[in-house]
Chains A and B, each alone.
Chain A
Amino acid sequence: MYELAGGIVLGGALGANDAANVFGTAVASHMVRLRRAVAITAVLVVAGAVLGGAPGIRTLGGMTDQTAWSAMVVSVVAGLTVLGMTALRLPVSTSQAVVGAILGMGLYIDPAGVRWAALGKVVACWVGTPVGAAVFAATAYPTLGWALDRLRLNIVWRSIVLRSSLLAAGAYGAYALGANNVANVTGVFYGTGVLDGLHGRQYLLALVGGLAIAGGVVAFGKAVMFTVGRDLVKLGAFAALVAVLAEAVTVHVYSFVGVPVSTSQAVVGAVLGIGLSRGARTVHARVLLRIVAGWLATPAVAGAICYAAAAVL
C-alpha cells in the first residue's frame, strides 16, 4: 500500500496548481475570502472524487497493465515532469503528464499490453477540452449576459448576484475538478493489486486521491490562487464567472466520459471563447502553440522519462 505515496504526492501538487482555476479569480479580487474558498474547494474536491471519480479511474487503470511498483514510478515521474516543466515555464498539464508516464511505463513492461483505443479516446478528449470550453463560453457569455441584463439589478445587487454566482461556480468547479482529476492521482493504481480485497476499492482510491488533492489545496493553494487569479481578474467579474463555469462544465462532462483533462486548458479555451463572443476575430498563435505543445511535449517528456526510469530501476 506504501506505493500509493507516489500518487498522494502527485495529488498534492495537482491540488496546489489547479485550485487556482476554480477560485483564483474570486480570491485574487477579494470577492471570496481565501479561507472560505480553500474550505469549499477541499470539501467538494473530495466529494467530486468519491461521487464522480470512478469512470476516470477505470479508464486510466485500464490503459496499460501495471504493477503497484510501476504505478508508483509512474506517479513520481509524472509529478517530477510537472515540477520540472513548470520550473522551466513550459506548458504542462498533470493529466497529460500522467497519461504520458503511464504510456512510457506500459511500453516498457509490455508494448502489446497498451490499449491504443483507450489512449485515442483520451487524446480526443484533450483536444475537445479547450474547444468545448470555448464553445460553451462563446454561447454562455451573450446568453447569461442577456439574462443578467433582464434582471435589471442595481449596482449593489448586481455585485451580490455576481459574487454569489462566482461562489457557486467555484464550488461546482471544485466538484468537477475532484471528479475528473482524481484519476490522475490514483487511477494508475486501479488493477495493480493495491487495496485489493477491500470492498469498493475504486471508491477508496477516489477517496485517497481526493484527500491528496484537498491536502494540496489547503497547503499550497493560497499563493497559486493569487498568482493565477490576477490574470483572470482583468476580464471583469462577469467574464470570470463565465470562464469558471465553462471550465467546470467541460471538465465535469469529461468526468462522465471517464477521461481526466486539463483544467488550465479548459480555462484558456473559455477565455478564447469569451474573446470571440466579444468580437475578437484573431487568436494569438502563441496561445494555441502553448496548448498544442502541452498535448505533445508533456506526455512525450513524461513517457520518455518513465521509460528510462523503468529501464534503470
Chain B
Amino acid sequence: MFFRKERQIERDIGRYLGHMEQCLATFEAGFAAYLEEGLTPAFDRFVKTAHVHEHAADEKRREIEETMYAKALIPESRGDIMELLEALDLVANQAEGVLDQVWTEQVRIPPELHADLKVLVAANAEAGRALAGAVRELFRNVRAVPEAAAGVYTKEREGDHVERILVKAVFRSPADTGTKLHLRDVISEIGAVSDFAENAADRLRIIAVKRVS
C-alpha cells in the first residue's frame, strides 16, 4: 500500500479533533451542571470525563507525531502539522484545566454572574469547535480555511466582551478582595480557551495561505 502513513495522519488528525470536540462539549456541559447544581459529584464526573478526553487527545497527538517522525509527509508540511497540533493541544488542555480548577479550588460563583458566565463558556466552547471545523477544512478545501478561521475570531471577540463585563461585575460586587481576585482568575482561565483557539487559528491561516498562491 503506497503512502499508508500519510493517509493514517489524515485519519488520526480527524480522530484528534473528535477528542478535542468531546473535551469542549464536556467543558460546556460541566459548567452547565455547575451553574445549575453547584459543586456536586455530578460536576466531578464531568471533570473526570474532560480529563479522559484530553488524555485521549494527547495520546493521539503523540501517535501522529511519531508517525511524522517516521518520515511521513514532506518536511515543511511535517513542521506545520507539528506546530498546529501543539497549538490545538493548548485549547483542550485549557478547557479540561479550568473545569479541574473549579472543582479543586471549590470555586463558588455568585448567582448574579451565572447568566453571563453561561454566555462566556458557550462563546469559548464555540471558538474551540469553530477551530476544529477550520482544521478539517485544511484537509478538505484549503481555500475555505480563512473563512472558517474567521468564525474562531468572532467567538473569541464575543468571549472577550463578556469576560470584561464579568470582571467588572466581580470588582463592583461586595465580595472581599481575595474572592474577587480568585473569581477574576477563574473567568480569565475560561476566556483563555478562546485565546488559545485564536492563536491556533492564526497558525492555521498561515499554513493555509502558504498553500494557496
Asked whether, in the complex, the Cβ of A159 is within 8 Å of the Cβ of B143, the reply is no
| Per-position binary interface string of chain A over residues 149-160, scored 1 when its CB falls under 8 Å from any chain B CB and 0 otherwise | 100101111111
A251 to B62, alpha carbons, bound, how many Å? 44
Asked whether, in the complex, the Cβ of A149 is within 8 Å of the Cβ of B213, the reply is yes
A133 to B131, alpha carbons, bound, how many Å? 44
The answer to the question of A233 belonging to the interface, with a C-beta cut-off of 8 Å to chain B, is yes
Q: Which of A149, A156, A160, A233 contacts B75 (CB 8 A)?
A: A233
Contacts of B75 in A (CB 8 A): 29-31, 233, 237
The answer to the question of B66 belonging to the interface, with a C-beta cut-off of 8 Å to chain A, is no
The answer to the question of A33 belonging to the interface, with a C-beta cut-off of 8 Å to chain B, is yes
Asked whether, in the complex, the Cβ of A155 is within 8 Å of the Cβ of B80, the reply is yes
Asked whether, in the complex, the Cβ of A155 is within 8 Å of the Cβ of B213, the reply is no
The answer to the question of B167 belonging to the interface, with a C-beta cut-off of 8 Å to chain A, is no
The answer to the question of B141 belonging to the interface, with a C-beta cut-off of 8 Å to chain A, is yes
The answer to the question of A200 belonging to the interface, with a C-beta cut-off of 8 Å to chain B, is no
Asked whether, in the complex, the Cβ of B139 is within 8 Å of the Cβ of A155, the reply is yes
The answer to the question of A163 belonging to the interface, with a C-beta cut-off of 8 Å to chain B, is yes
The answer to the question of A279 belonging to the interface, with a C-beta cut-off of 8 Å to chain B, is no
Min Cβ gap A23→B in Å is 14
The answer to the question of A2 belonging to the interface, with a C-beta cut-off of 8 Å to chain B, is no
The answer to the question of A197 belonging to the interface, with a C-beta cut-off of 8 Å to chain B, is no
| Per-position binary interface string of chain B over residues 156-186, scored 1 when its CB falls under 8 Å from any chain A CB and 0 otherwise | 0000000000000000000000000000000
Asked whether, in the complex, the Cβ of B9 is within 8 Å of the Cβ of A156, the reply is yes
Min Cβ gap B10→A in Å is 5
Asked whether, in the complex, the Cβ of A159 is within 8 Å of the Cβ of B71, the reply is no
Return the 4 tightest CB-CB contacts between A and B, nearest first. A237-B74, A30-B71, A159-B73, A154-B139
The answer to the question of B1 belonging to the interface, with a C-beta cut-off of 8 Å to chain A, is no
Min Cβ gap B139→A in Å is 5
Interface of chain B, main secondary structure: helix
Query: Which residue, of B3, B73, B74, has the highest number of chain A Cβ atoms within 10 A?
Result: B74
Number of interface residues of B (CB under 8 A): 24
| Per-position binary interface string of chain A over residues 218-244, scored 1 when its CB falls under 8 Å from any chain B CB and 0 otherwise | 000000000000000100110000000
Contacts of B6 in A (CB 8 A): 156-157, 159-160
Q: Which of A31, A155, A160, A164 contacts B71 (CB 8 A)?
A: A31
Contacts of A155 in B (CB 8 A): 73, 77, 80-81, 138-139, 142, 207, 211
Known: A31-B75, A155-B81. 7 other contacts (CB 8 A): A154-B138, A155-B138, A155-B211, A156-B73, A156-B139, A159-B72, A237-B75
Asked whether, in the complex, the Cβ of B138 is within 8 Å of the Cβ of A152, the reply is no
The answer to the question of A111 belonging to the interface, with a C-beta cut-off of 8 Å to chain B, is no
The answer to the question of A145 belonging to the interface, with a C-beta cut-off of 8 Å to chain B, is yes
Contacts of A30 in B (CB 8 A): 71, 75
Contacts of A146 in B (CB 8 A): 213
The answer to the question of B48 belonging to the interface, with a C-beta cut-off of 8 Å to chain A, is no
The answer to the question of A162 belonging to the interface, with a C-beta cut-off of 8 Å to chain B, is yes
Known contacts A154-B142, A155-B80; A162 and B74 CB within 8 A of each other:
yes
Asked whether, in the complex, the Cβ of B9 is within 8 Å of the Cβ of A237, the reply is no
Q: Which of B9, B73, B142 contacts A152 (CB 8 A)?
A: B142
Which residues, 73 to 130 on B, are CB-close (under 8 Å) to A?
73-77, 80-81
Min Cβ gap B144→A in Å is 11
Which residues, 5 to 31 on B, are CB-close (under 8 Å) to A?
6-7, 9-10
Contacts of B81 in A (CB 8 A): 155
Contacts of B138 in A (CB 8 A): 154-155
Which residues, 159 to 191 on A, are CB-close (under 8 Å) to B?
159-160, 162-164
Subset of 9 A-B contacts with CB under 8 Å:
A29-B74, A30-B75, A146-B213, A154-B10, A155-B77, A155-B207, A159-B72, A159-B74, A163-B74
Closest B residue, CB atoms, query A142: B213
Closest B residue, CB atoms, query A30: B71
Asked whether, in the complex, the Cβ of B74 is within 8 Å of the Cβ of A152, the reply is no
Which residues, 114 to 155 on A, are CB-close (under 8 Å) to B?
145-146, 149, 152, 154-155
Q: Which of B3, B207, B212 contacts A160 (CB 8 A)?
A: B3
